[in-house]
Chain A
Amino acid sequence: MPWEYSDKVVQLFMDAVKGAAGTHMGEIEDPDGYGEHGSMVCGDTLRFTFRVEKHPTDPTRDIITQARYLTFGCTSAIASSEALCTLLEQERKTPIEALQVSNEDLVDFLGGLPEQKIHCSVMGAEALQSAVADWASKRGVDLAAIVPDKVHADEDEGRVVCKCYSVTEPYLRRKIRELGLRSIAEITHALKAGGGCTACHHEPGGLQDLLDEIWATSHETDDAGQATAAETHDTAGELSPFQLGRRIETVIDDSIRPMLREDNGDIELIDIKDNIVYCRLLEPPGGCPGGADRTRLIVERQLGEEVDDRIRVIAI
């Protein structure tokens, strides 16, 4: 699938990669706010730091003056990170005002994103929220009292719905409402959840159930009668497979291996199935006419004489 990035995305990415003047790559030492979102497993991570101009008396009037990011991710993840930092610095927002910056603002700033890359902008907004929470705790600001809808302390603790990307139920519930996600595809594009093994799509308590509950709809899921593969096969034989195996092992250990070792050869038993013996044969150095098959025939003949003449030997 070829790239469908806007000129703005391409330009921000290229400037970032070149480290052009005015770009925001980096990490502020001893920052006033520090936040991270994503993980190595998911394939993208954003570490976001900012510095504020501190208000002498009222910390809620601190102004963000510098914002920096480090991003492990694709072209649009890097461009989204640039967009976030540029937006914040341009507008001299307080951290609390900054919380109003949504992923849509980032998408608009970028001149649009391909729909399967929307999660890159969501990652920016989430890292920002976590950095503001960090700032609030450092500055003694009670964020929950001022903007209760932006405080999501326990979200990491909830039941994990999407195991591939470790996405929890409380987080999903909030984002489905916030972003107005109506389908599993929209959830996957925005949050990555459900984009891996897809097992969480229709399992009980999975993505469809959450969507149905939140948007109060219900589907008649037609159970395409999953055939139960109850396979029973009886390996009937006059010798118990266990006994046969034991006798084969004994004969190999007591007579065949010593015989082969006299010629500096050896045998390793891999498996026994019914009357087939799989083994790895170490040829005597120098070899002899007939090679591998001669040794195999010797083993087969010996087992035939001492255990059962229907035994076949397959060399691995």
Chain B
Amino acid sequence: MKTVYVDNNATTAIAPEVLEVMQPYFTRDYFNPSSMYDAARSPAEAIRSARETVARCLGGIDPDQLLFTGSATESNNAAIFGAVQANPARRHVITTAVEHPSVLEIGKELERRGLDVTFLPVDGHGEISIDAFVKALRSDTLLVSVMMANNETGVCYPVAELARIAKQTDQEIVVHTDATQAIGKLPVNLSSDLKDVDLLAFSGHKIHAPKGVGVLFVRRGCRWRPFILGGHQEKGRRAGTENVPYIVGIAKACELAVQNLADEQTRVRGLRDRLEHELTARIPAVEVNGRDAKIRLPNTLNLAIHGIEGEAILFELSRHGICASSGSACTSGSLDPSHVLKAMNVPFSAIHGSLRISLSRYNDDTDAERIIEVLPTIVANLRRLSPYWDDANNCLQI
């Protein structure tokens, strides 16, 4: 049975082209890029070239503004703590209630350290209010951190607009965005629409590079201090011997992501729309979380399936060779259901039954057909077992 992998917002398959360009740096060109001998020129040159490639993919920016890190989580930590350290006179941070834990948890930590943190709420569509953002701005606002796109629902946030408003209000406000889910799915251009963004983070493994490598963009002139000290690498802004093969890999992955952006926006979107249309037509009492948001990632479908529990759905899907994920409490490892769906006020009956399908360029029609074939039966079988399902009338009863 062929595996149908539709959990691409969690991680992605490594592209063969990426693996290929990485190989020489594991074997032939393993030298420390900081070494003096001739042999070390090749890895040093590979990093320089990788940095240029990534800079080109992000809108033709100056490559010196890019740091390679170990993950998007590291990039987010470095971005936020670095901004806080560099601006000790300011004590207020604005973020949202639906950030990835690598931003949300830092927000809570900053509160514990005595800063004021505003977590902007979202409405039922998963969107934040620009008016609420404006009202939250203060004379001591240090940092604004809003993700470009949400990993669970795919709802996109108006980062360019928020950054412009923040900068027009006060040039000293630092604007950070977690772009992990946006790269390869939305245009990300730091010299045009995102020109007011100071710090931008993403990882390789969501764009078909390996796990364990990330990027942090730090705009020249941004008030920011390095987070990881102990070496001259990355001009002293991120110490530690460079992970050469992975840096080469993430650059290739960025290049492919830009090339495939049109495919993502058309063919992948078409697959998602087909799944959305057919599954909502075949399964009663199902809603699409974030459907009415103004902009949603083209690859993400978050279904609220009433009356059953997501972990049981995943288990059944897994038996059919389908890999997806859920915001259900039973799959979170913490007993708490998705903070994103809770912030959207999705009813509990549907949070526990949430199912996220996230596609990539490697998915095709046969994958969609398999899901459309098996999911309605899985849902019907589990609902027969549920005290919240009225089998006779085929509807939810609470």
Contact = CB atoms under 8 A, between A and B. Distances in A.
B333 A1 contact: yes
Contacts of B116: 229, 231
B73 interface: no
A270 B134 contact: yes
Given A40-B349, A74-B309, A195 B386 contact: no
Interface string B347-389: 0110010000000000000000000000000100110111110
Contacts of A14: 319
B276 to A, nearest CB: 25
Interface stretch (A43-51, A56-64, A103-111, A175-183): A43-51
A73 B330 contact: yes
A40 B385 contact: no
B137 interface: yes
Interface string A202-243: 000000000000000000000000111101010100000000
A273 B169 contact: yes
A72 B384 contact: no
A188 B169 CA distance: 46
B80 to A, nearest CB: 18
B335 A273 contact: no
Interface string A181-206: 00000001000100111000000000
Interface in A12-70: 13-14, 16-19, 25, 27, 36, 40-47, 70
Interface in A71-98: 71-75, 77-78
Contacts of B96: none
A276 interface: yes
B329 A43 contact: yes
Interface string B95-114: 00000000000000001111
B268 to A, nearest CB: 27
Nearest to A36: B387
Interface string B32-69: 00000000000000000000000000000000000000
- Determine which residue in B112, B116, B134, B312 has the highest number of CB atoms from chain A within 10 A of its CB, and name it: B312
Nearest to A72: B386
Contacts of B335: 43, 116, 165, 188, 192, 195-196
Interface string B132-150: 0011011110000000000
B336 A276 contact: no
Contacts of A233: 138-140
A47 B112 CA distance: 42
Interface residues of A, number: 51
A72 B307 contact: yes
B27 interface: no
B312 A73 contact: yes
A145 interface: no
A80 B140 CA distance: 55
A13 B315 contact: yes
B139 A43 contact: no
Contacts of B140: 231, 233
A25 B134 contact: no
Contacts of B138: 233, 273
A71 B328 contact: no
A56 B328 CA distance: 48
B308 interface: yes
Contacts of B168: 312, 314
A271 B131 contact: yes
Interface string A270-311: 110110101000000000000000000000000000000000
21 contacts: A1-B333, A3-B315, A16-B385, A19-B381, A25-B385, A40-B348, A41-B348, A43-B352, A44-B309, A72-B352, A74-B328, A116-B333, A116-B335, A196-B335, A227-B114, A270-B135, A278-B134, A314-B165, A316-B134, A316-B161, A316-B165
Interface of B: 91, 111-116, 130-131, 134-135, 137-140, 161, 165, 168-169, 307-309, 311-312, 315-316, 318-319, 328-330, 333-337, 348-349, 352, 378, 381-382, 384-388, 398
Given A19-B381, A228-B114, 16 more contacts: A1-B333, A13-B312, A17-B385, A42-B329, A72-B387, A74-B309, A74-B311, A196-B335, A227-B113, A229-B115, A233-B139, A270-B135, A271-B135, A273-B139, A278-B134, A314-B134
